[in-house]
Chains A and B, each alone.
Chain A
Amino acid sequence: QVQLQESGPGLVKPSETLSLTCTVSGGSISRYYWSWIRQPPGKGLEWIGYIFYSGSTNYNPSLKSRVTISLDTSKNQFSLKLTSVTAADTAVYYCAREASCGDDCYSFDYWGQGMLITVSS
């Protein structure tokens, strides 16, 4: 059974960099897309971006200038960095696997438990 687990500081100061790591267990990081998704308290879901096992990335244009997603295949981990954070970046951050459902179809089939990141001084 594939499991994902987010880790990192739960409190980040305004203007600083949010850094999270997702550790994948029970399966290989190969052949899938690995995404970060966030959900502000009481609000909906926002896709941040993904990294493919080859290392190629794609980001939400609304966050692209501040986001970097990287991969460490030796540790079966991928990471998120979000720079210059503000209170608007306070949210539960999820890591998720995006798998092919055939013929250019993809869905998020495994999710981490989520981690609340608060931006506050």
Chain B
Amino acid sequence: DIQMTQSPSSLSASVGDRVTITCRASQSISAYLNWYQQKPGKVPKPLIYAASNLQSGVPSRFSGSGSGTDFTLTITSLQPEDFATYYCQQSYSIPKTFGPGTKVDIK
């Protein structure tokens, strides 16, 4: 199985801050990396697919980059509705695996 790790596991930030979350795969997954946002008690929401492509309707303050084993999710100018947990997920091989999540909360 491909193991996914994320750092940090949690962070505190203020509205307007730039936030960067890192996701690392235990082996190369090319660009087959997706990001999801989940708020407490809610369904995961797709944000980014194939490492750097925004899903329809996702604000442009979200961006993704990376390939191989190292990936980042960046939120420029954090908004109140962005406080949530973010998960990366590899679609390179079976079983599909998710990172443990990064919780972004209010400083």
Contact = CB atoms under 8 A, between A and B. Distances in A.
Interface in A50-96: 58-62, 94
B43 A112 contact: yes
A47 B95 contact: yes
B98 A61 contact: no
Interface residues of B, number: 23
Interface of A is mostly: strand
Contact of B34 (A35, A60, A104, A107): A107
B35 to A, nearest CB: 9
Interface of B: 1, 31-32, 34, 36, 43-44, 46, 49-50, 53, 55, 87, 89, 91, 94-101
Interface of A: 35, 44-47, 58-62, 94, 98, 101-102, 104-109, 111-114
